[in-house]
Chains A and B, each alone.
Chain A
Amino acid sequence: MKRILVDVDRCSGCRLCETVCSFNNENAFGSSISRITVKKEDSIGLDLPIVCWHCNPCNALESCPTEALERNEEGLVFVNEEKCIGCEKCLETCVIGAIKLHPERKTPLICNQCGGKPLCVEKCPTKALTYTETGTKQPRPTDQVIEETLRRWRIIA
């Protein structure tokens, strides 16, 4: 399936992906209501966008006590807001930490790929985000990506 891929060397950490995502899906600009989140560490110059991979199997979906997380025909994980009790179990179990709760609705914000034309990818100023066919590949753990990157930049030996 097609997924949003991240090139950590290219990401400038501008968070435009967060703002366009929030506007496209929630009609307002705000990082707290975006479905993509840029992890930032100024001391090492790191900017790493984190967005749902729609893993199969998905730990978050399987751990949901009320079965509020479901998978649609295209393979995308989504939340059934009526069933969600806001217990945050999915936040803990997602392997890449891609889920956060909407600050008012208290239900998970999960990337919907904007119906096949993700705006974050279209607007990314450095082409750090791409929308690519990835088959059944699994996401790489965030910590591993960060460590490799810092070695490549020679920020750690």
Chain B
Amino acid sequence: MPRCYGYAGRILRINLTKNQVKIQPTEKRLITKFLGGRGFNSKRLYDEVAKDVDPLSPQNKLIFATGPLVGTAFPLGARFNVTAKSPLTGILGDSNAGGHLAAEMKFAGYDQIVIEGKSRKPVYIFIEDQEIQIENAKHLAGKDVYETTEAIKKDLADRTVQVATVGPAAENHVLYAGIFVNLARPAARTGMGTVMASKNLKAVALKGTGNIKIADPRRFWKIVEEIEEETYAHPQYWPRRTMGTTRILMLADRLGFLPTRHFTSATFQHASKVSGERLAREYNVKNRACFSCIVPCSRVYVIREGEYAGLHGEGPEYEALSSFTARVGNSNLDLALKAVDLANRLGLDAITTAECIAWAMELYEKGELTRKETDGLELTWGNGEAMLALIEKIAYRVGFGDLLADGVRRAAEKLGKGEEIAFHVKGLEIIQADPRGLKGYGLGYAVASRGADHLRSEPFVELSDDPEKGVEMFGVPEATLRLAHKGKGKLVRYFENWCAIIDSLEVCKNLAGNMELLPFDRAAEIAEAVTGFHFTEEAMFEFGERIVNLERAYLVREGIRRRDDYLPIRFLKEPLPNGNSKGAIFEMESMLDEYYAEREWNLTTGIPKAEKMRKIGLEYVVEDLRRNGIQIE
């Protein structure tokens, strides 16, 4: 194996059907075109998981990858992506998590791990440097995320091993089960845990004794020192350290985009009772951080009194907290913490779980669902006990939970009602920010390559409501006004490209993006200092273009067109009823038109144009799409 800088230099393939292991070098071609992490994974998925592969069949592949900066002292986090065809959406599935697994993977010597086939018996994989063992996992069947992690550490007699595991929800084929690392850090979205369980694979345990060398240490430390200085002086430093992302809850309430009672309100009258501020004051005992990160934004909470006294854990973050409070109308913080804990242990995606529950609650409140259909549960707004019961029912596919275990799109289809209030795009449930009050984000949900999700673009500058920024960045003042719709195509394209390189370098979007610590030019500099490959600011932007367009091509091959890029009708027709974004609706058509034009995609089909694909080195994709009978302009 050639000695690499930054990259581990190896790609590991494990075939569970054949019980076969292959180690290949990380090719230079892959690095110079797809950078790492998410870029590596989307490329692999496009090339190796063809159209018509059933996501839960052995032909699907589960792909982990991390990035060139991971494992070094680069101070903006250390993450990994896990990618497969999604059983929830049927298109590109992909999720990302932090913690300490990604660094361990690099120390073990791998940039990417591709898991193929399906084991005949339940197994887990133990990777210790170049020794790969496929272990019997019969004793782990049905165990939750915490129990499994502990059992594997005991089996291997090693407390330092890093474990990525699924819970019982995945084993029961709930379509939105996640893969959990460090107990409470899920790669939760799009059902990657379900794919893992479908391969009879309960967990992957990693231990690495290797190390990472870098090309230009002097330049590396100079950039790191600049970042340290900016970080410690940053206005977001202390709020993030005190509250993590939970600080968003009060902000969303104040600005009027906090989805409350299933998007029927944009403010929650009990927001302060379930806020990050309250957690910080009354529950949190200390901070934790991902590997080598200098902003310890994760918190350990302890419930000190009442029914759940003694319950403790890491987190929650904004999405899970807001999902199990405002979204379902629950004002009991202890109950919400219990719900997050339960979802983590059972191995569920909190966002999708809460959407399914809130959807059922809205139908129940409207009288379209009765107690007979809900196993006797009274699904009134804010009924926290019913919410806890439903989480368990979903994870074990019991009674009414079985309907919800396929996600909100399929639940509405099966029930034959509630389709217009099933809040998803392309089958992935919408996150906790109302698109009517945050239009760049909304456009991001509509076009994101994994379905409704903010982390593909996260155009946070529109929260500044500063028209000068819009002029400076895009020549359009409205681009950075959250309630305006003009200029959002430019905004979303730019931020999608940025997020794609952040996900490919596998650092943290909160720091690299939101705190603006890793703009394109600095990303190029640090990638160059670490890897020794030559990168420029323009090349970084182009990595983003290439990755986003390749992912779009994957969707196109699966049949996705413009018609699939629409938000649910409520956001297009019903003005926000209250709060500081009152009256806003979502101007879908004009925003999509502008975005497609920016992307050089066909306006009526949403298919990337051949000329565009050629410019960014994706000719082979154009040919492949044509072979699949798709007409390209």
Shortest Cβ distance from residue B212 to the other chain A in the assembled complex, whole angstroms: 5
Assembly CA distance A7 to B507 (angstroms): 27
* Nearest-CB residue, chain B, relative to A28: B211
Inter-subunit contact B289/A12 (CB<8 Å): yes
A/B pair count, beta carbons within 8 Å: 106
Query: Are B211 and A29 within 8 A (Cβ)?
Result: yes
Which listed residue, A27, A126, A153, touches B213 by the CB 8 Å rule?
Answer: A27
B314 touches A15 (CB 8 A): no
A113 proximal to B (CB < 8 A): no
Q: Are the CB atoms of A125 and B295 closer together than 8 Å?
A: yes
Verify if A31 is at the interface (C-beta below 8 Å from B): yes
Question: From residue A145, how far is it (CB to closest CB) to chain B in Å?
Answer: 14
Tell whether, in the assembled complex, residue B302 and residue A155 are in contact, meaning their CB atoms are under 8 Å apart: yes
A68 to chain B, nearest CB (A): 22
**Are B211 and A12 closer than 8 Å at their CB atoms?**
no
Say whether A12 contacts B73, CB under 8 Å.
no
Query: How many whole Å from A12's CB to the nearest CB in chain B?
Result: 3
Q: Could you tell me if A155 and B312 are in contact, using CB atoms closer than 8 angstroms?
A: yes
- Flag whether A81 is at the interface (Cβ < 8 A): no
**CB interface residues, B 290-304, toward A, < 8 Å:** 290-296, 298, 300, 302, 304
Task: Indicate which residue in A14, A32, A39, A42 contacts B289 across the interface (CB closer than 8 Å).
Answer: A14
Q: Inside 8 A of B294's CB, which chain A residues have their CB? A: 14, 16, 125
* In the complex, B100 has a CB within 8 A of chain A: yes
Candidates B209, B300, B310; contact of A32 at CB < 8 Å: B209
For chain A, the count of residues having a C-beta within 8 Å of the partner chain is: 35
Asked if B73 and A29 sit within 8 Å, CB to CB, the answer is: yes
Chain B residue nearest in CB terms to A152:
B285
A127 to chain B, nearest CB (A): 11
Contact B292 A153 (CB under 8 A): no
Task: Give the contacting residue for B107; candidates A12, A32, A41; CB below 8 A.
Answer: A32
CB distance from B97 to the nearest CB of A (A): 13
Which among A17-25, A69-77, A83-91 touches the partner chain? A17-25
- A43: CB under 8 A from chain B? yes
- Given contacts A43-B183, A45-B314, is CB(A15)–CB(B302) below 8 Å? no
Contacts of A45 in B (CB 8 A): 285-286, 288, 300, 312-314
> Is A99 on the interface with B (CB-CB < 8 A)?
no
Cβ–Cβ < 8 Å partners of B290 in chain A: 14
Enumerate chain B residues within 8 angstroms of A92, measured Cβ to Cβ: none
Judging by beta carbons under 8 Å apart, are A42 and B184 in contact? Answer: yes
Contacts of B107 in A (CB 8 A): 30-32
Find out whether the CB atom of A29 lies under 8 angstroms from the CB atom of B212. yes
The prevalent SS among residues of B at the interface is: loop
- A42 CB contact (under 8 Å) in B71, B182, B213, B304: B182
Q: Are A43 and B146 in contact (CB under 8 A)?
A: yes
Per the 8 Å Cβ criterion, residues 175-223 of B in contact with A are: 182-184, 208-214, 217
Q: Known contacts A19-B292, A26-B211, A125-B295; is A154 also within 8 Å of B73 by CB?
A: no
* Residue among A41, A45, A157 with the highest chain B CB neighbour number at 10 A: A45
B316 to chain A, nearest CB (A): 13
Query: Quick one: closest B residue to A44, CB to CB?
Result: B312
Q: Cβ of A33 < 8 Å from any Cβ of B?
A: yes
Q: Whole-angstrom distance between the alpha carbons of A15 and B296 in the complex?
A: 11
Contact B288 A15 (CB under 8 A): no
A-side contacts of B368, CB under 8 Å: none
| Interchain CB contact under 8 A, A153 and B208 | no
Against B, the Cβ 8 Å flags (1 = close, 0 = not) of A94-138 are: 000000000100000000000000000001011000000000000
Q: With a CB–CB cut-off of 8 A, which chain A residues contact B323?
A: none
Contacts of B72 in A (CB 8 A): 19, 29
- Cα distance A125–B241 in the bound complex, in angstroms: 11
In the complex, what residues of A have CB within 8 A of residue B291's CB? 14-15
A148: Cβ under 8 A from any B Cβ: no
Judge whether B75 is part of the interface by a CB distance below 8 angstroms.
yes
Any B CB within 8 A of the CB of A49 = no
B183 touches A42 (CB 8 A): yes
Q: Which residue of A lies closest to B241 (CB)?
A: A126
Tell me the nearest residue of chain B to A13, going by C-beta.
B288
Query: By the criterion CB–CB under 8 Å, are A103 and B209 in contact?
Result: yes
Q: Is B374 an interface residue (CB 8 A)?
A: no
B185 CB, min distance to chain A CBs, angstroms: 9
Q: Contacts of B611 on A, CB cut-off 8 Å?
A: none
User: Is A147 at the interface (CB under 8 A from chain B)?
Assistant: no
A101 to chain B, nearest CB (A): 10
Would you call A12 and B296 a contact (CB within 8 A)? yes
> Known pairs A12-B286, A40-B160. 13 more at Cβ < 8 A?
A15-B103, A19-B73, A23-B73, A26-B211, A28-B212, A29-B71, A29-B211, A30-B212, A31-B107, A39-B159, A47-B288, A125-B295, A126-B296
15 A–B contact pairs at CB < 8 A? A14-B290, A14-B292, A15-B292, A23-B217, A28-B212, A29-B72, A30-B71, A30-B212, A32-B107, A32-B210, A45-B288, A45-B314, A103-B209, A126-B287, A153-B285
Q: Which residues of B contact A (CB under 8 A)?
A: 71-73, 75, 100, 103, 107, 146, 149-150, 159-160, 182-184, 208-214, 217, 285-296, 298, 300, 302, 304, 310, 312-314
A-B pairs with lowest CB-CB distance, top 6? A30-B211, A12-B296, A45-B300, A14-B289, A12-B289, A28-B211
